[in-house]
Structure formats: structure tokens, C-alpha cells
């Protein structure tokens, strides 16, 4: 069960949700704000999972102060430190994937490994955030929205509050400053894309792989942008294995004995 708490950083009071023991796994959410998925439960069996609500998202007051992604990353690094986490695994989803990359660039010694779920740091030209009615947004985010019970999207007021912040921080589709730094980031990195992603083209995944010295690209079949909601078991399985073994996760440990 996830319980919530608050931590001060950079003058913000930042909410977080936490569950599990083991090595810390910090999660930075996407532009829709923090939302627990079955993948968080699965990961909390192996890790101490801490899902932050970044300033201006979710229930937090509007954030008019943060001006750039590196600045948000620096705030989050302080928040993580103020929770007593010196080194940690870092996972970023979509928008939060870019925050996570900046955080790792700013403090590489603190990040043991990086997991980027459908990261929005490198986008195809003209990529647009999901917009429109909740149904239209759900169709962009999920492979099979009809299979989900309740679709939890932020309400209109929350979206109105966060949209200017997202627009201000998301940066250009191709951010030369960020991409120029990636070749120097040796952190073991797992980049995941759903084969049905309709927000960020899955082909963007190969750019991380080409650029970063220790990057691994995994396609999650039949998942769209919200991989951890569409295929939580598949997502949590490969993430946990990667965080456990880093690049050695390519060696199979799946038993195939049928009968002894």
C-alpha cells in the first residue's frame, strides 16, 4: 500500500507516494501528473518506490516559478536528497523522462540506473500532447482504453493549471543542448517504448540507443504511450530485471524445463 508524505525543496512543499523496501526507485511522472498503476505495486515488491508529485502537478498549487526543465530537475534532486536518498534508481515517464535525464546529467554520481518510459525528451517533428475530450486523450494514451476499468485522467481544472507549465518546460522537439550532453552520460539506461505509442514515435527510441554509451532499448508489445498501464506486468518485469542486473539483463534466466 502506498502512503503519502511531504518533503520541502526549493521552497516547494512536494507530495510523494511511497511503498516497499529495498533499493530506492524514484519515479517522476508524465505531464498528466502522478498516478499509481499496477506497475507501481509490482515494482514495490522489489524496491522502495517513491512517486513524486512535481510542483505544479496533481493536487499541488499552480507553479508559476519554475522556468526550465533543468530547473525542475534540480528541484527534484533536492527533494530526493531531503528524503535522505543519496543514491537511487530513477524512472521518468514521458515528460518526466526528460526531467529524469536532466537530473542524471546534473548529478550522475547519485543515479545508479535510469529507466525512461516513453520519454518525451526526443520527439518527432510536430509531436503534439494528447488533447481534447477525456475519450480522445485516452485513445492517444492507451492501446486498449476499452479494456481499462476507470480511466483516470486529470480533471479539466488540473489540466488547465498544468498545461502552461508543461508548455513552458517541455522544450523543443529536438533539444540540441540536451542531446549534445547525452553521449557523456554513462548511467545504465533502459528506454522503453510501446509498439503502439501514438504520442511519441517509438522510432525515437533508437536515438537514445545511438547516443548514450550504456543504453538499452526495449519495445513493449501492444502497449501505447502509457506502457505501465497497458502492460503493467511486462513493464515491471523488465524494469526490475534491468535495475537488478543492468546490462547483464540481456542474459536469460527464464527456465524452460517442463518436467524434471
122-248-90 Cα angle (round to 5):
45
Identify which of residues 136 and 222 has a Cβ nearer to other proteins in the complex. 222
Identify which of residues 65 and 209 has a Cβ nearer to other proteins in the complex. 209
Q: What minimum distance in Å lies between the beta carbon of 205 and other proteins?
A: 8
Q: Which helix (H) or strand (E) holds 218?
A: strand 215-220
Q: What minimum distance in Å lies between the beta carbon of 190 and other proteins?
A: 9
Q: What minimum distance in Å lies between the beta carbon of 235 and other proteins?
A: 7
Q: Which helix (H) or strand (E) holds 237?
A: helix 232-245
Q: What minimum distance in Å lies between the beta carbon of 36 and other proteins?
A: 21
Which residues here bind other proteins, judged by CB under 8 A?
Answer: 192, 195, 205-206, 209-210, 216-222, 231, 234-235, 237-238, 249-252, 254
Distances (CA, A) of 111 to 24, 107, 231: 10, 7, 26
Identify which of residues 3 and 256 has a Cβ nearer to other proteins in the complex. 256
Q: What minimum distance in Å lies between the beta carbon of 250 and other proteins?
A: 4
Q: What minimum distance in Å lies between the beta carbon of 185 and other proteins?
A: 17
Q: d(Cα 209, Cα 89) in Å, to the nearest integer?
A: 19
Q: Could you identify the residue written with the cell 548529478?
A: 107
Identify which of residues 121 and 234 has a Cβ nearer to other proteins in the complex. 234
Q: d(Cα 122, Cα 113) in Å, to the nearest integer?
A: 19
Cα-Cα-Cα-Cα dihedral sign, residues 247, 190, 251, 24: positive
Identify which of residues 139 and 166 has a Cβ nearer to other proteins in the complex. 139
Identify which of residues 98 and 231 has a Cβ nearer to other proteins in the complex. 231
Name 68's Cβ contacts closer than 8 Å, sequence gap at least 6.
Answer: 168, 169, 171
Identify which of residues 15 and 216 has a Cβ nearer to other proteins in the complex. 216
DSSP string, 160-215: HHHHHHHHHHS--SB-HHHHHHHTT--S-EEEEEETT-SSS-GGGHHHHHHHSTTE
Q: What minimum distance in Å lies between the beta carbon of 8 and other proteins?
A: 38
Amino acid at each position: 500500500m502506498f502512503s503519502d508524505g511531504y518533503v520541502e525543496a526549493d521552497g516547494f512543499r512536494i507530495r510523494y507516494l511511497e511503498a516497499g523496501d529495498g533499493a530506492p526507485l524514484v519515479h517522476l511522472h508524465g505531464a498528466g501528473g502522478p498516478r499509481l498503476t499496477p506497475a507501481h505495486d509490482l515494482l514495490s515488491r522489489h524496491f522502495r518506490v517513491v512517486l513524486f508529485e512535481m510542483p505544479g502537478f496533481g493536487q499541488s498549487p499552480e507553479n508559476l516559478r519554475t522556468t526550465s526543465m533543468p530547473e525542475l530537475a534540480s528541484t527534484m534532486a533536492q527533494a530526493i536528497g531531503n528524503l535522505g536518498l543519496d543514491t537511487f534508481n530513477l524512472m521518468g515517464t514521458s515528460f518526466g523522462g526528460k526531467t529524469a535525464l536532466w537530473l542524471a546529467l546534473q548529478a550522475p554520481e547519485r543515479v545508479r540506473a535510469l529507466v525512461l518510459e516513453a520519454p518525451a525528451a526526443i520527439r518527432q517533428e510536430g509531436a503534439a500532447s494528447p488533447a481534447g475530450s477525456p475519450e480522445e486523450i485516452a485513445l492517444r494514451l492507451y492501446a486498449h482504453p476499452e479494456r481499462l476499468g476507470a480511466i483516470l485522467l486529470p480533471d479539466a481544472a488540473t489540466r488547465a493549471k498544468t498545461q502552461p507549465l508543461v508548455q513552458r518546460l517541455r522544450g523543443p522537439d529536438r533539444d540540441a543542448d540536451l542531446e549534445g550532453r547525452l553521449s557523456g552520460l554513462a548511467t545504465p539506461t533502459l528506454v522503453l517504448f510501446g509498439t503502439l505509442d501514438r504520442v511519441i514515435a517509438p522510432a525515437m527510441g533508437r536515438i537514445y540507443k545511438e547516443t548514450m554509451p550504456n543504453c538499452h532499448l526495449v519495445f513493449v508489445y501492444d502497449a501505447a504511450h502509457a506502457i505501465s498501464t497497458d502492460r503493467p506486468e511486462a513493464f515491471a518485469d523488465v524494469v526490475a530485471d534491468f535495475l537488478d542486473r543492468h546490462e547483464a539483463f540481456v542474459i536469460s534466466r527464464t527456465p524452460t524445463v517442463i518436467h524434471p
